[in-house]
Amino acid sequence: MSERSAILVSVHGPDKPGISAGLMDVLGQTDAEIYDMEQIVVRGRLTLNILIGVDGDGDTVSQLLLFGWKSDLHVDFEPVETTPTPSRPIAAVTVLGTRIGPDDFGAIARAIADSNGNIERIYRLSRYPAVSYELLVAIEDLDSMRTALVSATADRPIDLAIQRDGLERRSRRLVVLDVDSTLIQNEVIDLLAHEAGAGEEVAAITESAMRGEMDFEESLRKRVSKLEGVDEAAMARVASSIEITPGARTFIRTLKRMGLKTAIVSAGFTRFADGLAEQLGIDYSLSNTLDIQNGVLTGRLAGELVDGPRKAQFLREVAQAEGISTGQVVAVGDGANDLHMLAEAGLGIAFNAKPIVKDNADTAVSVPYLDAILFLMGVKRDHVEAADAADPEFDQSPLLDVPGTPPA
364 and 276 inside one domain: yes
- Give the tens place of pLDDT for each residue, 102-126: 999 999 999 999 999 999 999 999 9
Instruction: Look at the chain and count its residues.
Output: 408
Specify whether the CB–CB gap between 144 and 151 falls below 8 A: no
Q: What burial class does residue 18 get, using C-beta atoms within 10 Å of its C-beta: 0-12 exposed, 13-18 middle, 19+ buried?
A: exposed
67 and 31 inside one domain: yes
Question: Of 159, 178, 338, 401, which residue is the catalytic one?
Answer: 178
Global pTM value: 0.84
Query: What pLDDT does 139 receive?
Result: 94
Domain presence at residue 229: no
255 versus 167: which is more confidently predicted? 255
Specify whether the CB–CB gap between 19 and 3 falls below 8 A: no
Least confidently predicted of 36-45, 159-168, 193-202, 209-218: 209-218
325 and 292 inside one domain: yes
Specify whether the CB–CB gap between 32 and 54 falls below 8 A: yes
Strands 131-138 and 90-97: antiparallel
324 and 294 inside one domain: yes
The arithmetic mean of pLDDT across residues 163-175, rounded, is 88
Using the predicted structure, report yes or no on whether residue 403 has a pLDDT greater than 70: no
Q: Which of 64, 1, 73 lies closest to 34 in space, CA to CA?
A: 64
Domain presence at residue 334: yes
Domain presence at residue 405: no
Using the predicted structure, report yes or no on whether residue 269 has a pLDDT greater than 50: yes
- Examine the residue annotation and report whether 180 is marked as an active-site residue of this protein: yes
109 and 45 inside one domain: no
Using the predicted structure, report yes or no on whether residue 404 has a pLDDT greater than 80: no
Cross-strand partners of 171: none
302 and 376 inside one domain: yes
Using the predicted structure, report yes or no on whether residue 349 has a pLDDT greater than 90: yes
Residue 166: pLDDT band with limits 50, 70, 90: confident
14 and 129 inside one domain: no
The arithmetic mean of pLDDT across residues 6-21, rounded, is 94
Using the predicted structure, report yes or no on whether residue 394 has a pLDDT greater than 70: no
Q: What Cα–Cα distance (Å) separates residue 259 from each residue in 21, 133, 253, 396?
A: 36, 24, 10, 22
Q: What Cα–Cα distance (Å) separates residue 7 from each residue in 39, 78, 373, 379, 396?
A: 16, 6, 41, 35, 52
- Examine the residue annotation and report whether 395 is marked as an active-site residue of this protein: no
Q: What Cα–Cα distance (Å) separates residue 335 from each residue in 245, 284, 345?
A: 16, 20, 16
What does the mean pLDDT of the chain come to? 90
Q: Tell me which residue range forms the domain holding 130.
A: 90-166
Using the predicted structure, report yes or no on whether residue 399 has a pLDDT greater than 70: no
158 and 27 inside one domain: no
Could you give the CA distance from residue 326 to residue 27 in angstroms, rounded to a whole number? 48
Q: What burial class does residue 294 get, using C-beta atoms within 10 Å of its C-beta: 0-12 exposed, 13-18 middle, 19+ buried?
A: exposed
Least confidently predicted of 177-191, 276-290, 313-327, 355-369: 355-369
Report the percent of the chain where pLDDT is more than 70. Answer: 94
Domain presence at residue 344: yes
What is the tally of helices (H) and strands (E) in the chain? 15, 15
Q: How many structural domains compose the chain?
A: 3
Q: What share of the chain is helix, strand, coil (3-state, %, to 5)?
A: 40, 30, 30
DSSP character for 128?
S
- Give the tens place of pLDDT for each residue, 209-267: 767 677 888 889 999 999 999 999 999 999 999 999 999 999 999 999 999 999 999 99
Residue 170: pLDDT band with limits 50, 70, 90: confident
49 and 99 inside one domain: no
Residue 179: pLDDT band with limits 50, 70, 90: very high
Domain presence at residue 232: no
262 and 384 inside one domain: yes
104 and 154 inside one domain: yes
Domain presence at residue 208: no
Report the percent of the chain where pLDDT is more than 90. Answer: 76
The arithmetic mean of pLDDT across residues 70-74, rounded, is 94
Q: Which of 323, 316, 253, 243 lies closest to 282 in space, CA to CA?
A: 253
CATH of the domain at 330: 3.40.50.1000
Query: What pLDDT does 57 receive?
Result: 60
Using the predicted structure, report yes or no on whether residue 1 has a pLDDT greater than 50: no
E strands, 323-383, in order: 329-333, 347-351, 363-365
Domain presence at residue 230: no
Domain presence at residue 209: no
Query: What pLDDT does 401 receive?
Result: 36
Q: Which residues contact 158 (CB under 8 A, 6 or more apart)?
A: 95, 96, 97, 100, 104
CATH of the domain at 10: 3.30.70.260
Residue 2: pLDDT band with limits 50, 70, 90: low
